[in-house]
Amino acid sequence: MANETVSVKEALELGAAILRSADPNRAVIDRPRLEAEILLGFFTNLSRTELITKRDQTIDRKEFFKLIEKRKNFYPIEYITGKVSFYSREFFCEEGVLIPRPETEILVDKVLEIADCDRDITIAEIGSGNGAISVTIACELKKAKIIATDINEKAIELSRKNAAKFGVENRVKFIHTNLLDNIDEKIDILISNPPYIKDGFKLPKNVNYEPKNALFAGSDGAEVLRQIIALRKRPLICECGFDQEKILAETLTQNGYNDFSFYRDYANLTRGFIAK
């Protein structure tokens, strides 16, 4: 009969080895020891330093390795721990709501570059997800009022939870609706990180656990972006796919935008646009 407990040190080593063996030719789990540390810290509520100083402490073998097995099967670590880092803040995250990506921080940077922080402004976001974008902007722009929408009611609930965590719930309103339906306020800046993946595109194994309606948008991935552009709000800042620059440039021009540019991400790929 296997031991029911294992030391912190052994759990870390075994956990890292299991994650390393999950897909040795693919970098989905490309940081096995770090992820084993994250999961072990989450399970034990110990800091990374304490995982060293308390390495002989014993834990429940079966329960910890349930987490390791979930991650081995590419279940997102953010869903396991219930948290995700975005713009140097830690947000609540849970299954059924899109996980914000590091490259989406660039979208926030673009908003901060053009927003007038010295006056009261209203910024609208289409597709709030877990609220990371809107809450971050509210934290950075103390005079801004944010209106964020999402068709996913679970996302709206989680967004409100994150707004409350950072004390901006009085300046960020989350509304369960499509696009800007029933939104009457004057909007100074419209932003969105909408679904923009082509239908049928083969996703990495870990992304398959995320909500499909937050990822896919038609045969060319631009269906939702077209709807947003057709609202003709200025300025408009959106994230988009790396291969959508040509089709979106045409759509922007057709909708009366004559001043727009595309920005790139950390891999030097097209990641979004600013239209004025």
Q: Do 103 and 181 sit in the same domain of this protein?
A: yes
Residue 47 in any domain: the answer is yes
Residue 38, CA distances (Å) to 50, 71, 82 in order: 12, 11, 12
Report H helices in the chain: 8-22, 32-44, 48-53, 61-72, 77-81, 105-114, 132-140, 153-165, 223-229, 245-254
Domain count, the chain: 2
Q: Do 152 and 214 sit in the same domain of this protein?
A: yes
The partner residues of 60 in beta bridges, in order of sequence, read 5
DSSP string, 180-213: TTT--S--SEEEE----BPTT----TTGGGS-GG
Q: Do 178 and 217 sit in the same domain of this protein?
A: yes
SS3 142: coil
193 and 131 Cβ atoms separated by less than 8 Å: no
Residues 6+ apart with CB under 8 A from 168: 135, 138, 139, 146
Q: Do 110 and 57 sit in the same domain of this protein?
A: no
pLDDT along the chain (276 residues), means of 10: 84 94 64 94 96 95 96 96 98 98 98 91 98 98 97 98 98 98 96 97 94 96 98 97 97 97 96 97
pLDDT of residue 119: 87
What is the token pair recorded at 90?
Answer: 């830690």
Residues 6+ apart with CB under 8 A from 51: 8, 12, 37, 40, 41, 44
What is the token pair recorded at 118?
Answer: 């010295």
Q: Do 164 and 233 sit in the same domain of this protein?
A: yes
Residue 82 in any domain: the answer is no
Q: Do 133 and 59 sit in the same domain of this protein?
A: no
Domain that residue 148 falls in: 98-275
Q: Do 113 and 206 sit in the same domain of this protein?
A: yes
- CATH number, domain with residue 168: 3.40.50.150
Residue 61, CA distances (Å) to 8, 76, 177, 211, 219 in order: 10, 21, 45, 31, 46
Q: Do 107 and 211 sit in the same domain of this protein?
A: yes
The partner residues of 233 in beta bridges, in order of sequence, read none
26 and 20 Cβ atoms separated by less than 8 Å: no
Residue 79 in any domain: the answer is no
Residue 93 in any domain: the answer is no
Q: Do 25 and 69 sit in the same domain of this protein?
A: yes
